[in-house]
């Protein structure tokens, strides 16, 4: 049976799709069979980030409407053969797709995958329900900002109404230089206010933005190390957290920090 993990946040634009895509890649690099479901229906993004847009024949709506089987709609990643995407549709009115529809899909592929990742839309309305309903675990993505943490806190409360057995926190877009200078909320206080275990910290990294432009996951950058640790923590419970401050420590780090402030 697959572990079904929804990636959610409440607030929009904090990095759910980025975390989902990278987690998919790094879990598949660890040798697992991974299916990613783009449940942000009408606002598909996962296919773009993964550079799979041109390979799409059928999408999630076609599956729900009975136009094809789930297997026919799953797109295999050319670089990572154990990674598949069930793409979202661009046009269909999402209101016709329910949480039960998505659960039927996860039930069908349950035995063919080790992980099913569900990319949740922003907000806490019908789209949230659709993505959370089939999941048994949740990753809550926040950025180190109060507005993001408040929204995520509401989401954690709402998740209690579902059959979510475990919740984990991912802090995205952390700036090591600002952490050291005390200008950004620190990790301990974010974890304390969220009250759920920390599974990963991902640095602010220009390579991530580049990835969303050219549809290619970068594997030789800072965030790659952070996503590798996140995948390992999720898989084997190791508690290794990426240290965003390492390159800003010591004399060279001090200089880097101050140069960054000037530019």
Instruction: List residues binding Mg ion (CB under 5 A).
Output: 16-17, 45
Please give the biggest Cα pair distance in the chain.
Answer: 62
**Of 18 and 233, CB closest to ligand ATP:** 18
With residues binned 3-state (H G I as helix, E B as strand, rest as coil), the percentages for the chain, rounded to 5, are 45, 15, 40
Pick what 62 binds: Mg ion, ligand ATP, none; C-beta below 5 to 8 Å, kind-dependent: none
Residue 193 dihedral angles phi and psi, to the nearest 5°: -75, -25
CA distance 40 to 231: 22
Pick what 212 binds: ligand ATP, Mg ion, none; C-beta below 5 to 8 Å, kind-dependent: ligand ATP
Residue from 149, 152, 144 nearest 176 by CA: 144
Position with the least CB separation from Mg ion: 17
Pick what 12 binds: ligand ATP, Mg ion, none; C-beta below 5 to 8 Å, kind-dependent: ligand ATP
Footprint of ligand ATP on residues 42-61 (CB under 6 A)?
A: 45
Q: Could you please report the per-residue DSSP string of 18-84?
A: HHHHHHHHHHHHTT--EEEEE-STTS--HHHHTT-GGG-SS-HHHHHTTSS-HHHHPEEPSS-TTEE
**Of 13 and 250, CB closest to ligand ATP:** 13
Residue 138's alpha-carbon distances to 9, 94, 117, 173, 196, in angstroms, are: 10, 22, 10, 19, 11
**Minimal distance, residue 143 CB to ligand ATP, in Å:** 8
| Token pair listed for 39 | 């449940």
Q: Interface with ligand ATP includes 222 (CB under 6 A)? A: no
From 73, 208, 229, 244, residue interacting with ligand ATP (rule: CB under 6 A): 208
Q: Interface with ligand ATP includes 172 (CB under 6 A)? A: yes
Strands (E) located in the chain: 3-8, 34-38, 75-76, 83-86, 115-119, 137-142, 166-174, 198-203
From 81, 209, 214, 246, residue interacting with ligand ATP (rule: CB under 6 A): 209
Segment contacting ligand ATP by CB under 6 A, of 155-163, 177-185, 188-196, 204-212: 204-212
**Of 173 and 257, CB closest to ligand ATP:** 173
Footprint of ligand ATP on residues 130-169 (CB under 6 A)?
A: none
| Token pair listed for 176 | 């090591």
Q: Interface with ligand ATP includes 13 (CB under 6 A)? A: yes
Contact residues toward ligand ATP (CB under 6 A) are 9, 12-18, 40, 45, 121-122, 172-173, 202, 204-205, 208-209, 212, 223
């Amino acid at each position: 049976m697959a572990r079904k993990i929804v990636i959610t946040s409440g607030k929009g634009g904090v990095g759910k799709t980025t975390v989902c895509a990278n987690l998919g890649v790094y879990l598949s690099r660890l040798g697992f069979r991974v299916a990613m479901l783009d449940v942000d229906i009408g606002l598909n993004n996962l296919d773009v980030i993964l550079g799979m847009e041109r390979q799409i024949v059928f999408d999630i709506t076609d599956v729900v409407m009975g136009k094809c089987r789930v297997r026919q709609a799953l797109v295999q990643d050319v670089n990572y053969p154990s990674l598949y995407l069930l793409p979202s549709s661009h046009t269909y009115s999402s209101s016709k797709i329910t949480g039960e529809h998505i659960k039927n899909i996860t039930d069908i592929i349950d035995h063919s995958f080790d992980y099913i990742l569900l990319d949740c839309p922003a907000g806490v309305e019908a789209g949230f329900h659709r993505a959370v309903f089939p999941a048994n675990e949740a990753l809550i993505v926040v950025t180190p900002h109060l507005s993001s943490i408040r929204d995520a806190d509401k989401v954690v409360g709402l998740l209690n109404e579902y059959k979510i057995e475990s919740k984990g926190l991912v802090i995205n877009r952390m700036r090591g230089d600002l952490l050291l200078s005390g200008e950004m909320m620190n990790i301990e206080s974010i974890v304390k206010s969220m009250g759920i275990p920390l599974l990963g910290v991902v640095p602010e990294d220009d390579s991530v933005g580049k990835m969303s432009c050219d549809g290619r996951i970068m594997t030789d950058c800072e965030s790659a190390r952070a996503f590798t640790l996140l995948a390992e923590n999720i898989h084997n419970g190791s508690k290794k957290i990426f240290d965003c401050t390492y390159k800003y420590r010591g004399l060279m780090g001090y200089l880097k920090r101050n140069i960054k402030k000037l530019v």
